[in-house]
Amino acid sequence: MPTQTTTSGYDVATTAVLPEGAPSLPSRISWGAVIAGAVVALTIGLMLNALGAGIGATTVDAAARDTPSASSFGIGAAIWVLVSNLIGLAVGGYVAARLSGTSDNTDGTLHGLAVWGTTFLISAVLLGNLVSGIASTAASGASSLVSSVASGAGSAVSAVGQQAANRTSTSTLQNAAQGLVDRVQGALSGGGAPASMTSDQRKAEIATLVTRRVTDGQLSAPDRDRLNGLVAAEYNLSPQDAQARVQQAEQQATQAARQAEEKARSAADAAASGAAKAAFAVFGIMLLGAIASVLGARRGTRDLLTIRNTRVA
């Protein structure tokens, strides 16, 4: 290794010159320190959150009805959780930088950021497992409830069916079913003069035309005249009154559809706005956490001691 020597008076300074292509520097990250800092950050955050839950519970006074409102509870809890996590991350960053033994500010900052990332990843995994467990428990309970209800309903239906079978003959049931089929077929058949049709036939054709009006958006002139005639014959109205009633029903249906569309759009906008606010809130919390971890790590970075070695020639 070549050296350069400079003599100034009685002081001799020696400078080492490394050749090009020297071996790379060893890794300066201490994962043990990072993990220790993340554990400390999570533990402090959990401890402070438990303290906040206890303080919040003491403010509930159902007997005196002096309990804070739900909005005050929510705002206070959110602020407490944020501050608790920031304190935990700051202490975790300090611990990681201190245990790493580094005296370089950049290395200490990177150790703090590593604690921040590890802590948030562990928190996300724990939160995901908690949500998954709650959903699984709820689904299991709902399945048990549905199976119990279905079993009870099946027993009830079986009992009713047995009683009906004992009290009703097969021929009577067949006659009743055939009568019902004939009635449905008569109701669905139409196309004749409205005055000569039965009430069921007119109502069935009115329903068909109304469905066509809803699905297609409009009716042709013959269909509209047919609908007016059916309404006039069914409700004993004059052609003018029947036409006015049909127009009024169409206006009400159009207004209801417009209101439903506006409500759907408002709900979609509210959902999008809520998702955007939640995303920005998560970003802000993570940014504040990173800043707290870096500040704690910079505070925990060891000071660099400068020692001068002077020789007298």
The domain locations on the chain are 28-147+284-300, 159-260
pLDDT at 52: 87
DSSP 8-class letter at 3: E
Please calculate the CA angle 12-16-21 and round it to the nearest 5 degrees: 170
90 near 293, Cβ under 8 Å? yes
Cα–Cα distance between 140 and 223 in angstroms, integer? 52
Say how many Å lie between the first and final Cα of the chain, rounded.
23
pLDDT at 60: 75
Residue with token string 């009703």: 168
Partners of 6 in the beta sheet?
13
106 near 43, Cβ under 8 Å? no
> What is the reported pTM?
0.57
Query: CA 177, 183, 184, 185 torsion: positive or negative?
Result: positive
From first to last of the 313 residues of the chain, give the pLDDT tens digit: 444 444 444 444 555 554 555 455 566 788 999 999 999 999 999 999 899 888 888 877 766 566 667 777 788 888 998 999 999 999 999 999 999 888 888 888 999 999 999 999 988 887 776 556 665 665 565 555 545 544 554 554 455 455 545 555 566 656 655 555 555 444 445 556 777 788 888 788 778 877 777 777 677 878 777 877 888 877 888 888 878 888 887 788 778 878 888 899 989 989 999 899 889 988 999 999 999 999 999 998 887 665 666 555 5
For residues 253, 258, 259, 260, the Cα torsion angle rounded to the nearest 10 degrees is: 90
* C-alpha Rg value of the chain to the nearest Å: 40
Closest CA to 88 of 300, 298, 292, 286: 292
Closest CA to 301 of 116, 113, 106, 103: 103
DSSP assignment of 188-216, as one string?
Answer: H---S-GGGS-HHHHHHHHHHHHHHHHHH
Residue 215 burial (CB count, 10 A) = 7
